[in-house]
Structure 1
Amino acid sequence: MLPLLSHTLLVCIILIFKKIHANELTFELPDNAKECFHDKLKIGSKFVLEYQVVTGGNYDVDLELKSPSGKILYKETKKQYDQFEKTVEEDGVYQFCFSNEFSTFTHKIIYIDWKVDGDPEHEIPQPGPRVAEGALTMIELKVGKIHENLEKSIDYQTHHRLREATGRARAEDLQERVQIWSLGQFILIIIVAIGTVLLLRSFFTDRRTSSNMTWNR
């Protein structure tokens, strides 16, 4: 019973650390700045790049993805979010760069999700000893299904947090603009009120001066 339990636990651990190399990162990109990331991939592996501008400016950024030979595989300008998937056709270091050089005063918060599947350098080695063939088939299927559902849940939660952060940033930006507009309207009302009082006062002052001149004559 104990060997079966230990092998079941080992299978669970292996399935949790799936043969997919994934990096999730949220970073700040200053204005007039460019940030590049690199990863070494092998032919036959597949990568998925997903990104989204969480906060900053018009929620847009430039992205360029290059192969080791310098070929541009993906290029978009002033994009808010996107997802790009491709199978690697040449060995080497791939580079993707985010650029905020078109912005002169606003920085951006960017979320990226970089996944690589099928690359031996990113894979976790198989466990050594195994129990009899088919003994853990049902358990492996169950654990695999649970792992897939957990991955989907994590992915949904991540995107929900991103939407929440973006919505909060937009709401705070709108609140700031409303406050500035309200303050401007208040100042304008005060100026108009003071101007109206001074104008009316000047009318009565002119009448008194003219009436005094008449009596003196």
Structure 2
Amino acid sequence: TPSRCPRQCSVAATGCWYCRLPLLLLFLVPGSSSASESNFELPDNAKQCFHEDIMQGTKGTLQFQVITGGHCDVDCRLEDPDGNGLYKKMKKQYDNYTFTASKNGTYKFCFSKEFSTFTHKTVYFDFQGGEDPPLLPGENRVRTLTQMQSVYVSIQEALKSVIDHQTHFRLREAQGRSSAEDLNTRVAYWLVREALILLVVSIAQVLLLKSFFSDKRTRTTCVES
């Protein structure tokens, strides 16, 4: 009969590999060699740039999305250390661009909304430089992984997927909340205007009806001959 894991897991219990999974969850935090993730407010008719150091031959990925503001679009430009443009898009709501660094240096990516002078925008971006370090020593080499090691790698990939989905749904929730708050404000203003209009119309009707039933005194003038 197959052995069962006891309630108190022992490190020496080699047959009970899944007893140690709760301990592994404390250490399986996906990370990359170089990453920047943030959201910021872009003022009216402004431009904001960010910088990231990347080694030659390293793969980089830039992902951005406008959360709130106007038509939810922004201009984006990515430059290499020499100032050459690698990526340039105008009035994009969201996009994803992957490239390979041709030289060592500081790469710059900028967001601007010089075409808009009325509303500020909230922009989210995620810049990944390089690949995730291997979870296990020698993972990149061709070799057979044990059952426990395969579970480690599967959990790491699942956690990455969970983080990506959480980020996606948080952005959608922020967009939905912003739209709902804007709609609520417009409805409130419209209700106030309707209430004022009804008040004015009611007062006008009362005054009009009152004028119909009021006694009009006729004045007579005597003309002397």
Do the two structures share a fold, i.e. TM-score over 0.5? yes
Contact residue 12 and residue 143 of structure 1 kept, 8 A: no
Unaligned runs of 5+ in 2: 1-10
Contact residue 61 and residue 79 of structure 1 kept, 8 A: yes
Q: Deviations over 1:129-153 (max 9, x none)?
A: 9xxx968644332211110011101
- Alpha-carbon separation, structure 2, partners of 1:189 and 1:128: 76
Q: Where is the helix percentage greater, Structure 1 or Structure 2?
A: 1
Cα distance change on mapping 1:201 and 1:75 into 2, 3 Å: farther
The CA RMSD measured in Å over matched residues stands at 3.6
Which structure is higher in RCO with an 8 Å CA cutoff and minimum separation 6? 1
> Does 2:58 match 1:49?
no
Q: Which amino acid aligns with 1:150?
A: L
> Does 2:181 match 1:169?
no
Residue aligning to 1:94 = 107
Of 154, 163, 185, the residue aligned with 1:154 is: 163
Residue aligning to 2:122 = 109
Q: Deviations over 1:172-214 (max 9, x none)?
A: 1100011111111221222233334444555666x825xx14x
Contact residue 68 and residue 122 of structure 2 kept, 8 A: yes
Cα distance change on mapping 1:146 and 1:127 into 2, 3 Å: closer
- Alpha-carbon separation, structure 2, partners of 1:200 and 1:126: 85
- Alpha-carbon separation, structure 1, partners of 2:184 and 2:80: 43
- Alpha-carbon separation, structure 2, partners of 1:157 and 1:125: 23
Q: Give the Å deviation of 1:27.
A: 1.8
- Alpha-carbon separation, structure 1, partners of 2:179 and 2:190: 16
Q: Give the Å deviation of 1:23.
A: 2.2
Residue aligning to 2:194 = 185
What percentage of aligned pairs have identical amino acids? Answer: 44
Contact residue 30 and residue 160 of structure 2 kept, 8 A: no
Cα distance change on mapping 1:127 and 1:157 into 2, 3 Å: closer
Residue aligning to 2:151 = 142
* TM-score under structure 2 length normalisation: 0.73
Unaligned runs of 5+ in 1: none
The count of aligned residue pairs is 203
Q: Give the Å deviation of 1:105.
A: 4.2
Cα distance change on mapping 1:33 and 1:178 into 2, 3 Å: same
- Alpha-carbon separation, structure 2, partners of 1:128 and 1:79: 41
